[in-house]
A and B are shown apart, each in its own frame.
Chain A
Amino acid sequence: MKVAKRTFDAVIVGAGGAGLRAALQLSEAGLKTAVLTKVFPTRSHTVAAQGGVAASLGNSTEDNWHWHMYDTVKGSDWLGDQDAIEFMVKKANEVVVELEHYGMPFDRTDNGKIYQRPFGGHSQNYGQTPVSRSCAAADRTGHAMLHALYQRNVRANTQFFVEWMAMDLIRNADGDVLGVTAMEMETGEVSIFHAKATIFATGGAGRIYYSSTNAFINTGDGVGMAARAGIPLEDMEFWQFHPTGVAGAGVLITEGVRGEGGILRNAAGERFMERYAPNLKDLASRDIVSRSMVTEINEGRGCGTEKDHVLLDITHLSPETIMKRLPGIREIAIQFAGVDPIKAPIPVVPTCHYQMGGIPTNYKGQVIVPKDGNPNVPVAGFYAAGECACASVHGANRLGTNSLLDLLVFGKSAGETVVADFQSGQLTLKPLPDDAADVSLARIARLETQTNGVEVNDVRLDMQRVMQKHAGVFRFADMLKEGVTKILEVAERAKHTQIKDKSKVWNTARTEALELDNLIEVAKATMISAEARKESRGAHVRDDAIDCAETPNGRDDKNWLKHTLWYSEGNRLDYKPVNLQPMSADVEPIALAKRTY
């Protein structure tokens, strides 16, 4: 079957923060750049980021990138690659100031500098006291960032393909990436986007869980596409549960609430974080806070008739502070929890929030895979940035405000690498294989002809329930083992999804079926990687991992200080070393230590 073909220097999939930042780099360098996006760019999930972006500007308190690097490595529970982390924290001031010049309306101090607030896990002097490192634009940091970047891209003539769903990665016999296939939702037609460089910036797949803070668009499309095309997925067992999702709804209450003085309390009204993290208390790293909350609930100190949540209390803050610094929080609490936080505390539970793992990349944004004994060989023509990628800067646990930093730094870096490779003549338009669109056309054809199949909504819900029950905040050996069997059963059923509406034009049922194919890859990767990792580290916490001198907090560096690589084909697992060596020779590695706050 003949399909339409479009040719570009570069094609970017995803128009959130990372995609727009990468696109800007390319378009401003004069590359003919196409950005494919399921939704209008400024409706990407980056809009939801409230808290801020980390940079050691030192405007509010003394700060420097060495401290930020220490916090990030420690936050990652030493699973982060220290070269990529050094790169990110050193670039932070540059990308934030750049954004300021693009017109981003950051909050200001009285003397006109960017206002900075404290945020969980960020400290002065190597873990001593909280630092003010987060740069924010009220509670609309992501929104303001995305708008600033979108406007800049319009000026730079980036070509947007809005409401196009990327379907599959195109690779040749050598494994080089030659572009993607994509479906235009308006017509239902599949096209080939042939390019010298392909950048994935598709965000996370938080919708694999039943309880998630993520918008419905977060279906891990790039991660699923990469996995189906034979690229391994790195560290997919690590999912951050945000401590404060509104109980029952999942809607996120930003950590900024605790930055401004919010306190977590159990059924007795006790500020329980004082017991778990005596120094940083409610501002300890997210995984520590989530685990402490679940422990309180599991030990019977939860709140409500079911004792299934804890309370986030800001009643001691003045209404003026709440209105000025945390304007959106009140409305969320009223709408989804039925309480006015000025008068009563908000019921919260840890909720799936962020995917630490993803498509393996280096700090340049190049996608890397094991080949001929080298674990980190770039795939020609393929780059990734943002939540879909694993650089790996967040390791086993991400610090708040480091995700907006990640997408700026690595979006830009991936863009810079493509521009450099393009200008040096390394990137060429390689011939397309004859069957370039066959996989995608077969997927569409199957959906058109499937009979006696299963409903997309049913399979998605089954997947979400299995993930929530078997791979949540606390993990148990027998539950994980059972979870693997169950998720493989769900994946088998997902091969037979059926849609009633067979129309081509604006068929949202078909789009949702294609999204489910991506979610399922992520769910399998998560469960299988989690079952195999026999230790606790960061967000991956196993009940059977013993806290002793040899394995502090259950972390087993002797056997498990390594990155997981999961291959979709055969559900095969491989591992590769963590890079404990910073980028610069004169920067000391952050030595392994027990992670306490």
Chain B
Amino acid sequence: MTLNRGRVRWQCRRALLELDLVFTRFLERHFDRLTDGQLADLDDLLLVEDHDLWGMINGSRPVENDRWKEMVELLRAG
């Protein structure tokens, strides 16, 4: 199944400004170039609760799923 990019893009809108700022950078620099596989990884990562996701990005929390690692790296790097 091919994911709808618009849906994934909308789900990058989060409850915390911290994440909105990180995702703004990510959407500008990386989003349009993601492969379908990467998009699916991102879609999976976006199900994580905001505080936990923020924890993974800022390094205070381990990235629990290997599948998320590449996307978390891109989010960290900006």
Given contacts A44-B15, A331-B60, A505-B6, contact A215 B51 (CB under 8 A): no
Report A-chain residues with C-beta under 8 Å of the C-beta of B16.
Answer: 47-48, 215
Report B25-64 residues with CB < 8 Å from chain A CB: 49-51, 54-55, 58-60
Report A29-79 residues with CB < 8 Å from chain B CB: 38-39, 42-48
Is there a chain A Cβ closer than 8 Å to B65's Cβ? no
Report A-chain residues with C-beta under 8 Å of the C-beta of B18.
Answer: 251, 332, 335-336
Report A-chain residues with C-beta under 8 Å of the C-beta of B59.
Answer: 331
Assembly CA distance A186 to B58 (angstroms): 32
Report B-chain residues with C-beta under 8 Å of the C-beta of A143.
Answer: 49-51
Find out whether the CB atom of A511 lies under 8 angstroms from the CB atom of B10: yes
Find out whether the CB atom of A43 lies under 8 angstroms from the CB atom of B14: yes
Assembly CA distance A191 to B57 (angstroms): 38
Find out whether the CB atom of B10 lies under 8 angstroms from the CB atom of A508: yes
Q: Which of B6, B7, B21 has the most CB of A within 10 A?
A: B6
Kindly list 18 other residue pairs between chains A and B, CB separation below 8 angstroms, not including A506-B6, A507-B6.
A48-B16, A185-B7, A186-B7, A212-B17, A214-B17, A215-B13, A215-B15, A215-B19, A215-B20, A251-B18, A327-B60, A328-B51, A328-B54, A330-B60, A331-B60, A332-B18, A506-B9, A506-B10
Residue of A nearest to B76 (CB): A335
Q: Can you list 10 pairs linking A and B with CB atoms under 8 Å apart?
A: A39-B13, A43-B13, A43-B50, A185-B7, A215-B17, A216-B13, A217-B15, A331-B60, A506-B9, A508-B6
**Out of A47, A214, A216, which one reaches B50, CB within 8 Å?**
A47
Is there a chain B Cβ closer than 8 Å to A533's Cβ? no
Report A320-352 residues with CB < 8 Å from chain B CB: 327-328, 330-332, 334-336
Find out whether the CB atom of A251 lies under 8 angstroms from the CB atom of B21: yes
Assembly CA distance A567 to B60 (angstroms): 48
Report A-chain residues with C-beta under 8 Å of the C-beta of B60.
Answer: 327-328, 330-331
Assembly CA distance A335 to B19 (angstroms): 11
Assembly CA distance A140 to B49 (angstroms): 12
Report A-chain residues with C-beta under 8 Å of the C-beta of B13.
Answer: 38-39, 43, 215-217
Find out whether the CB atom of B58 lies under 8 angstroms from the CB atom of A335: yes
How many whole Å from A379's CB to the nearest CB in chain B? 30
**Out of B4, B7, B15, which one reaches A43, CB within 8 Å?**
B15
Assembly CA distance A43 to B10 (angstroms): 12
Given contacts A331-B59, A331-B60, contact A505 B15 (CB under 8 A): no
How many whole Å from B37's CB to the nearest CB in chain A? 20
How many whole Å from A142's CB to the nearest CB in chain B? 9
Find out whether the CB atom of A215 lies under 8 angstroms from the CB atom of B14: yes
Report A-chain residues with C-beta under 8 Å of the C-beta of B7.
Answer: 185-186, 506
Is there a chain B Cβ closer than 8 Å to A358's Cβ? no
Is there a chain B Cβ closer than 8 Å to A249's Cβ? yes
Assembly CA distance A140 to B51 (angstroms): 8
Report A-chain residues with C-beta under 8 Å of the C-beta of B10.
Answer: 163, 185, 506, 508, 511
Report B-chain residues with C-beta under 8 Å of the C-beta of A213.
Answer: 17
Report A-chain residues with C-beta under 8 Å of the C-beta of B21.
Answer: 249, 251, 336
Q: Which residues of A contact B (CB under 8 A)?
A: 38-39, 42-48, 140, 143, 163, 185-186, 212-217, 249-252, 327-328, 330-332, 334-336, 503, 505-508, 511
Report A-chain residues with C-beta under 8 Å of the C-beta of B19.
Answer: 215
Report A-chain residues with C-beta under 8 Å of the C-beta of B17.
Answer: 48, 212-216, 250-252
Report B-chain residues with C-beta under 8 Å of the C-beta of A47.
Answer: 15-16, 50-51
**Out of A46, A140, A252, A334, which one reaches B58, CB within 8 Å?**
A334
Assembly CA distance A45 to B15 (angstroms): 5
Assembly CA distance A39 to B15 (angstroms): 9
How many whole Å from A359's CB to the nearest CB in chain B? 22
Find out whether the CB atom of A505 lies under 8 angstroms from the CB atom of B4: yes
Assembly CA distance A249 to B14 (angstroms): 16
Residue of A nearest to B59 (CB): A331
How many whole Å from A140's CB to the nearest CB in chain B? 6
Report B-chain residues with C-beta under 8 Å of the C-beta of A215.
Answer: 13-17, 19-20
Report B-chain residues with C-beta under 8 Å of the C-beta of A163.
Answer: 10
Find out whether the CB atom of A42 lies under 8 angstroms from the CB atom of B49: yes
Query: 5 closest pairs, A vs B, by CB?
Result: A506-B6, A47-B15, A331-B58, A43-B15, A216-B20
Residue of A nearest to B16 (CB): A48
How many whole Å from A253's CB to the nearest CB in chain B? 12
Assembly CA distance A430 to B18 (angstroms): 44
Residue of A nearest to B9 (CB): A508
Find out whether the CB atom of A506 lies under 8 angstroms from the CB atom of B4: yes
Assembly CA distance A327 to B55 (angstroms): 11
Q: Which of B7, B13, B54 has the most CB of A within 10 A?
A: B13
Report B-chain residues with C-beta under 8 Å of the C-beta of A217.
Answer: 13, 15
Residue of A nearest to B15 (CB): A47
Assembly CA distance A251 to B17 (angstroms): 6
Assembly CA distance A48 to B20 (angstroms): 12
Residue of A nearest to B27 (CB): A508
How many whole Å from A468's CB to the nearest CB in chain B? 16
